[in-house]
Amino acid sequence: MKAKFKVWNKRLKSFDTTNKFMIDMQGRLYVQDGSIFIICGDWMEPVFSTTKEDKNGVELFDGDIVKGFGVKRIVTLKLKKYCVYGEVSIFDVDQFHSDFKKIGTKLENPELMEGDLNITG
């Protein structure tokens, strides 16, 4: 199975949507430069897809912030399980509840992580 990912540029504080990337078997990230791939610096970070969608059909990636059932949580992909921080609830990949709505990402919207992630609202 081919892993789907996008790349966060730590220097620019945004996702890189213009370049083509690949990851080798050792987990090193490369960017395409013409006809060759060059290894990326540590300021570029791959963010992997969970292969799941929120209630609006938006694809969820590691670090997305979702809201549903009166709580706000961070989705983290680890060992084929969804760890949703807050009350540290764990969703099996096949049991992730699609009633959550993506409201941001921990990288693009760090202000959403302030305070209690289990707020009602």
Q: What pLDDT score was predicted for residue 53?
A: 87
Please give the residue range of the domain that contains residue 95.
Answer: 5-113
Cα gap 107→14, rounded to integer Å:
8
Copy the structure tokens of residue 100: 């959550």
Q: Which pLDDT score is estimated for 65?
A: 86
Residue 23 domain flag: yes
The answer to the question of residue 119 being in a domain is no
- 121 inside domain: no
Residue 45 lies in a domain: yes
**118 within a domain of the structure (yes/no):** no
One-letter amino acid for residue 21 of the chain: F
CA distance 92 to 70: 21
Partner residues linked to 103 by β-bridges: none
Please choose, from the candidates 28, 64, 59, the residue with its C-alpha nearest in 3D space to the C-alpha of residue 44.
Answer: 28
Query: Does pTM surpass 0.85?
Result: no
pLDDT tens sequence for the chain (121 residues): 567 899 999 999 999 988 999 988 888 899 999 999 999 989 999 998 888 888 899 998 888 888 887 777 788 776 444 444 444 344 444 455 668 889 999 899 988 877 655 433 3
Residue 116 pLDDT: 57
Strand ranges in 54-100 using DSSP code E only, listed in sequence order: 59-61, 64-68, 71-78, 81-85, 89-92
Assigned domain for 120 exists: no
The total number of structural domains that make up the chain: 1
